[in-house]
Structure 1
Amino acid sequence: MNPLRYKAFRLIYSADQWRSRRVTPGGVAVVAGFALVGGLGLDSTQSLTYQIFTFLGSMLILAVAQGIRFRDRLSLSRSLPRFGTAGVPLSYRVTLTNHTAHWQRGLWLRETFADPRPSYRELRNTPEPGEEQRNRFDRSLGYYRWLWLIRRNQRATTQRVAVPPIPPRSQVEVMLTLRPYSRGAVHLTGATLMRPDLFGLFNGCQHLPLAQSLWILPHRYPLPLVQLAGGRRYQSGGVALASSVGESDEFMALRDYRPGDPLRKIHWKSWAKLDKPVVREDQDEFFVRHALILDTFQAEAYSQTLEEAIALAASFACSFQTQESLLDLMFVGLEAYCFTAGRGLGHTDQMLEILASVVACGDKPFSSLVPSVVERSDLLSGCICIFLQWDDDRQGLVQQLGALRIPTLVLVVAAAGQTAADFDTRVITAPTTRFQVVPLDNIAPTLLAL
């Protein structure tokens, strides 16, 4: 990728954004007609088209002059939710306040996203999915890759909406719809108010700054009730970890009641004495704890396989009843991570937020994840492994889990059309281990059949 070409792409994007904000479809038609009659009317003695040229030119000058003058005292506020979901339209309310003494009419509102243009390094090192199927010229030029990266970085789109007339020193509410198409953080820097000129050719624009962000969570699939054969396991220091989930053995102390504590833990005599709810803590706890192992190891910075693997992990994170058990999400990004959701610890929405920010790990081997799993093997009642491929390292981890008699569900996200017959599963000998291939073209039905 040539640096000069990268700079040209940036300029083209800036020019296109300016045109989409400033020039209306009618304005595009007038500019095209202005250029056309300008070429036809070069010799004014042979043609009268120069009169049309002069007329169109005058319209454009007046339209631009009127649009440039648009500056009014208006302010903006949003009722933006904290989360959205990829593929699910999200509606929210925007309030516009008119601080002037006259009516504001004929306005349009359009959200402004943070600059989605990729860096030169990102453009050079991140190929577009399916880029190898494009012709040689398109691959060499890299413009389709540029467009794909802009869409990927922006993560969502909105349409401009008409603003109803705003009375003097009053406010109106407008409903906008955000359409997220990929997971991650969406950053809004403000909104642009547009008012077309008298001819409807050129928009006067005023930027209202208001920086806000929201997380777009991975899309999820419906899942049946997945039962793993494992039972409750002893947790060392279980009360501190599980907030009294499970079966207790030995009384340790009394403490104040916290929302979510089971009624059976309430110490009624202490409540009557202190006139506030008190619960008992027990030293030893036995409860169900599952591990959700997410494979993020691939050479590419982006792949549809990884995105669907993250969607599978999000689906399982939502399906587990964390009020009755704990769920450990384990993956490797810049380092090895383990996040636990369950009563008294993290919540499912926090786990989904973490999944929304997961990136591919291209500089570490899969074996770097294995120690985190083995260290917690004594605590685990079951394990769900979501793999991007089925090689020796991943087979070795499944064999270790089987040898430890941990019930394991192995899901391999595979290319379209692949089945279990395309994979060597002879290494799976433990009766508590289940193996399932999830092809990209048949994900939902495969999951419902688990």
Structure 2
Amino acid sequence: MLRRYLFHNFRVVFALDRWIRRRFTKAGLLILGGLIAAGVFGIDTKQTFAYQLFSLLLALLLLAIISSWFFRVRFTARRDLPQFATVGETLHYRVQVQNHTRKLQRGLTLRENIKSPLPSFETFLRAKEPGYEKRNLFDKYVGYPRWAWLRRTLKGAEIAEQSLPPIPPSLIMKNEKFKIQNDNILSFQSSFSIKMTLMPLRRGYVHFTSMTFARPDPFGLFNALYTLDMSDSLLVLPKRYPVSEISLSGSRKYQRGGVHLAMSVGDTEEFVSLREYRPGDPLRHIHWKSWAKLGKPVVKEFQDEFFVRHALILDTFTEQAVGESFEAAVSVAASFASAPRSHEVLLDLMLVGTQAYCFTSGRGLAPTAKLLEVLACVEACTDQPFSQLHSLVMEHAASLSGCVCVLLNWEFSRQHLVQLLKNAGIPLLVVVISETELEIDSEKFPEVHVLPLDAIGEKLDKLYD
């Protein structure tokens, strides 16, 4: 009960802290701190003169706040965002700003506003922030560091605010233009471009909601704000490690649907002959010209195909909806998905989210970028059994030439899945993401490799050594 009460008060503390930091400049924060201190020590007006300092600082802050009410500007802006970003890699993009007033606007700061959902109480209880084990008992119980970490992670990105040079007006008379050009402005232009710096903190979509122009009052204490509603989104892809070409000694397997499915990947030509329609034939195979000529339905017959098909299996089953191990597993899966491979190989990404999914990438089908988009948005599965993944994998096992498994644990159900794939004669590469040391029978499971959280890149680089 107490923890739930504290949790809901975190939001109040955060909202107040955010308002103060957005509104007050560094000098304003110093004055505000002095005001509070003077108020505490100046309660007894007979013993101290601190109340006089309190009155002076209060009047100064009130003047600063009132002056901010007269901030009147009108801007338009446009973001030039790239298609993708990557977790942990600094991204630069540009913002075009246009001043629709008749005045030269100086002393402005540009701030980007991102949608920042707050964590639920259930997520708060399950999550463990980095360094949780080293926290003292008070921090572990109250959990404000964990709440702050969750809020920052859910926000998705940090964008540094940028100070703007003087922005010339777009609505201007000829004599005003001459005045501006002689006012230490090197070049006159109606719009201005500024470079912004973004650091992605997590994968998935980063939602921009608006941008705010801030300008301090003449005393430099309190910011006047002008907010421009501008919705945009940027997809952040998972972090990826360098991985060499996956080498699995699998042979070509029979694929139901042949070339029509594989889009020319295989050993034979697609079209074989025409034949009469049989119940169950797909409508897309109907040869309409022959039907019109003969007066009865005729379908095109295709030769079934044999080609190489690999599966990339991602284990999404974990108790923590937000956790380092799961994010590391997604990054490893993304690394394998983007690893170089022959154009004749199809890759199936298999995972379980709200339901079982199988996404196929290869020549003529979805490009690798589509698999990375899927991995960017995948969520941990906290309420379904691991057997859901069993069913999905074994349904496609007969058509697989090889399989890469990225697992979060090495308990019985995971071992059983690996053993089933081995019994089916499918070449395997299995990696297990682990925070602790794992004991694995290397004689029984020589294809299993453990990747410690603190050395994933190093271990992946030596995977084929």
In which range does the TM-score fall when normalised by the shorter chain?
0.7 to 0.9
Q: Tell me, yes or no, if the aligned pair for 2:403 and 2:427 is still in contact at 8 Å.
A: yes
- CA deviation string 1:155-193 (max 9, x = no partner): 210111011211111221111111012212211111111
The alignment status of 1:423 with 2:440, answered yes or no, reads yes
Out of 189, 200, 205, the position equivalent to 2:225 is 205
The alignment status of 1:443 with 2:436, answered yes or no, reads no
Structure 2 partner of 1:348: 368
Structure 1 partner of 2:90: 89
- 1:322, CA displacement in angstroms? 6.5
**Aligned counterparts of 2:270 and 2:26: Cα–Cα separation in 1:** 76
Cα distance change, pair 30–392 in 1 and its aligned pair in 2 (3 A): same
TM-score between both structures, scaled by the size of structure 1: 0.86
Structure 2 partner of 1:407: 427
Matches within 5 A, 1:12-411: 12-41=13-42, 51-169=52-170, 170-249=190-269, 251-252=271-272, 283-321=303-341, 323-411=343-431
- CA deviation string 1:275-328 (max 9, x = no partner): xxxxx9963333221000111112222221111111110000001436332110
Q: Which runs of 5+ in 1 are unaligned?
A: 255-279
- 1:231, CA displacement in angstroms? 2.6
Equivalenced residues, count: 418
Q: Which amino acid aligns with 1:434?
A: E
**Aligned counterparts of 2:253 and 2:157: Cα–Cα separation in 1:** 43
- CA deviation string 1:347-371 (max 9, x = no partner): 2111111111222212222222112
Query: Which stretch has the larger CA shift, 440-449 or 243-252?
Result: 243-252
**Aligned counterparts of 1:133 and 1:171: Cα–Cα separation in 2:** 51
**Aligned counterparts of 1:385 and 1:47: Cα–Cα separation in 2:** 73
- CA deviation string 1:398-420 (max 9, x = no partner): 2222222211111111225x36x
Q: Tell me, yes or no, if the aligned pair for 1:249 and 1:284 is still in contact at 8 Å.
A: no
Q: Which amino acid aligns with 2:262?
A: A
Structure 1 partner of 2:176: none
Query: Which stretch has the larger CA shift, 160-169 or 38-47?
Result: 38-47
Cα distance change, pair 159–28 in 1 and its aligned pair in 2 (3 A): same
Q: Which runs of 5+ in 2 are unaligned?
A: 171-189, 275-299
TM-score between both structures, scaled by the size of structure 2: 0.84
**Aligned counterparts of 2:449 and 2:124: Cα–Cα separation in 1:** 36
Cα distance change, pair 441–7 in 1 and its aligned pair in 2 (3 A): closer
- CA deviation string 1:353-395 (max 9, x = no partner): 1111222212222222112212212211110011111122222
**Aligned counterparts of 2:57 and 2:273: Cα–Cα separation in 1:** 86
Q: Tell me, yes or no, if the aligned pair for 1:248 and 1:282 is still in contact at 8 Å.
A: no
- 1:253, CA displacement in angstroms? 7.8
Backbone CA RMSD of aligned residues: 2.4
Q: Tell me, yes or no, if the aligned pair for 1:76 and 1:96 is still in contact at 8 Å.
A: yes
Q: Tell me, yes or no, if the aligned pair for 1:382 and 1:406 is still in contact at 8 Å.
A: yes
**Aligned counterparts of 2:146 and 2:271: Cα–Cα separation in 1:** 62
**Aligned counterparts of 1:161 and 1:90: Cα–Cα separation in 2:** 15
- 1:232, CA displacement in angstroms? 2.2
Q: Tell me, yes or no, if the aligned pair for 2:264 and 2:270 is still in contact at 8 Å.
A: no
Query: Which stretch has the larger CA shift, 394-403 or 158-167?
Result: 394-403
**Aligned counterparts of 1:250 and 1:35: Cα–Cα separation in 2:** 80
- 1:120, CA displacement in angstroms? 3.5
Q: Which amino acid aligns with 1:299?
A: E
**Aligned counterparts of 1:34 and 1:395: Cα–Cα separation in 2:** 64
Q: Tell me, yes or no, if the aligned pair for 1:80 and 1:92 is still in contact at 8 Å.
A: yes
Q: Tell me, yes or no, if the aligned pair for 2:259 and 2:270 is still in contact at 8 Å.
A: no
**Aligned counterparts of 2:301 and 2:242: Cα–Cα separation in 1:** 37
- CA deviation string 1:92-124 (max 9, x = no partner): 111111111211111100111113322334334
Cα distance change, pair 138–410 in 1 and its aligned pair in 2 (3 A): same
**Aligned counterparts of 2:28 and 2:411: Cα–Cα separation in 1:** 58
